[in-house]
Amino acid sequence: MLAFILAAVLAAAGPAQAQSVPLDHLPALRGDYFRHESASVGRAFHIYVRLPADYASQPERNYPIVYLLDGDSLFPILAANHLFLTYDEQLPEAIVVGIAYGSFDPSINRRDVDFTPPGAAAFQAFLKTELIPLVERRYRADPARRILFGQSRGGLFILYSAFTDPDLFWGRIASNLSSALDRDLFFGPPPVAARTDLKLIIASGSRDRERPRELALEWARAWERREDAPWAVRLVTIEGGTHGADSARAYRAGMLWLFGLPDPLSPP
């Protein structure tokens, strides 16, 4: 059986009591895990994969696939929540991939480098030439319904990816963009895309920090009106949402919109 293992150190019990805890006993997160040494970035990533509940019973089916940035924190939240969106809102099942650093220590967790230029170019090369081909060979993914989710700096990378390689992902969800917008890139000429069905949603918490919220609203409102945008753009305000605590609501709003499903929690 494929099992993915989370190293858990019980601090109160001391190092001698360290043990591995199998997540196979958490069925909402059951799937796979592997470590990948990236040639593009020059560092390792921990890749967690949540497989759909009916994955084994439907061997001929290919599934939408969602790639989560900041998988260290977002994978356990959003991968499990996808199951309940399937139950309650008829969201199609999906393979959910968490891209994790394995630590919040800044010497290991290099999201500040990977999600903003110039480091974003190497990180995108890792996604395009290493991770996506590897994952989509291993699992029955539908590359025509490939989705990328990012929060804060990860949301900034969503825009970077949308402008520099628009066809790489069918759908993109940017939650509470950070304030480090490259205005020349993100407010400049639109990229050229081969696909005509691309979608990009900007989710912004009404209680997000003032400057990031202003920039998110400015960008989304500008591109919603542009006829030359290569993606359909939608802005959703998460009422009462803060910068970091409402990723599940942003994921919900984004995924339901991508798949054409109504969301009673979001304005039309």
Which residue range forms the structural domain that includes residue 182? 25-258
Question: Does 10 map to a domain?
Answer: no
Question: Does 266 map to a domain?
Answer: no
pLDDT at 179: 76
pLDDT at 162: 98
The three-state secondary structure class of 220 is helix
Whether the Cβ atoms of residue 190 and residue 164 lie closer than 8 Å to each other: no
Question: Does 12 map to a domain?
Answer: no
Nearest to 259 by CA among 171, 144, 174, 166: 171
Total structural domains within the chain: 1
Question: Does 86 map to a domain?
Answer: yes
DSSP letter (8 states) at residue 126: I
Question: Does 201 map to a domain?
Answer: yes
What tens digit of pLDDT does each residue of 18-53 get? 456 677 789 999 999 999 999 999 999 999 999 999
How, if at all, do strands 63-68 and 31-37 pair? unpaired
Question: Does 37 map to a domain?
Answer: yes
Question: Does 264 map to a domain?
Answer: no
The three-state secondary structure class of 199 is strand
Q: At how many degrees (to 10) do helices 80-89 and 247-258 cross?
A: 50
What tens digit of pLDDT does each residue of 192-212 get? 999 999 999 999 999 999 999
Residue 112's domain is classified under what CATH number?
3.40.50.1820
How, if at all, do strands 95-100 and 44-50 pair? antiparallel
Radius of gyration of the chain (CA): 18
- Calculate the alpha carbon distances from 25 to 9, 29, 148, 151 in Å: 18, 9, 27, 28
Question: Does 108 map to a domain?
Answer: yes
pTM, full prediction: 0.92
Q: Where are the alpha helices (DSSP H) in the chain?
A: 71-74, 80-89, 111-114, 119-125, 132-138, 153-164, 183-186, 210-224, 247-258
Nearest to 141 by CA among 67, 63, 55, 53: 63
pLDDT of the chain, 268 residues: tens digit per residue: 334 333 332 333 333 334 566 777 899 999 999 999 999 999 999 999 999 999 999 999 999 999 999 999 999 999 999 999 999 999 999 999 999 999 999 999 999 999 999 999 999 999 999 999 999 999 999 999 999 999 999 999 999 999 999 999 999 999 999 877 788 899 999 999 999 999 999 999 999 999 999 999 999 999 998 999 999 999 999 999 999 999 999 999 999 999 999 988 877 6
Half-sphere exposure at residue 266, Cβ-oriented, CA atoms within 13 angstroms: 23
